[in-house]
Amino acid sequence: MDEIRWRLEQLISLRFEVLEAVYELTGQRRRFSFYEIARAARLLDGHFPDAGVAAEVLTRAIDRALETGVPLVDVAYMSVTSEGF
């Protein structure tokens, strides 16, 4: 029960487009856990005013993390602090 509550708390504040991206990304066989994807999603959703942009950046951050081996949350953080990362 605590796990379900924790997962809901991670998602409750996300806008629809970002929540939809999290759902699609966690449904695929990726190497990232729900926790990693949810943390990156919350960071990006809080930064970008447009939810569609946040969802797109989340997808690109996952691809970039897979290519480089850099942790997903670090890639997401670099996406909001570095222009064009």
Using one digit for the tens of pLDDT, what is the confidence trace for 49-80? 998 999 999 999 999 998 998 999 999 999 88
Q: Report residue 36's pLDDT band, with 50, 70 and 90 as the boundaries.
A: confident
User: For the purposes of burial, counting CB atoms within 10 Å of the CB of 8, is it exposed (0-12), middle (13-18) or buried (19 or more)?
Assistant: exposed
Q: What is the pLDDT of residue 18?
A: 79
> Is the per-residue pLDDT at 29 higher than 60?
no
Predicted model pTM: 0.72
Q: Please state, in angstroms and rounded to a whole number, the distance separating the CA atoms of residues 46 and 76.
A: 12
List Cα–Cα distances, 1 to 10, 24, 26, 57, in angstroms.
14, 23, 20, 31
Domain range holding 37? 2-81
Show the beta-strand stretches assigned E in 1-85. Answer: none
Please say whether the beta carbons of 44 and 57 come within 8 A.
yes
Number of independent structural domains in the chain: 1
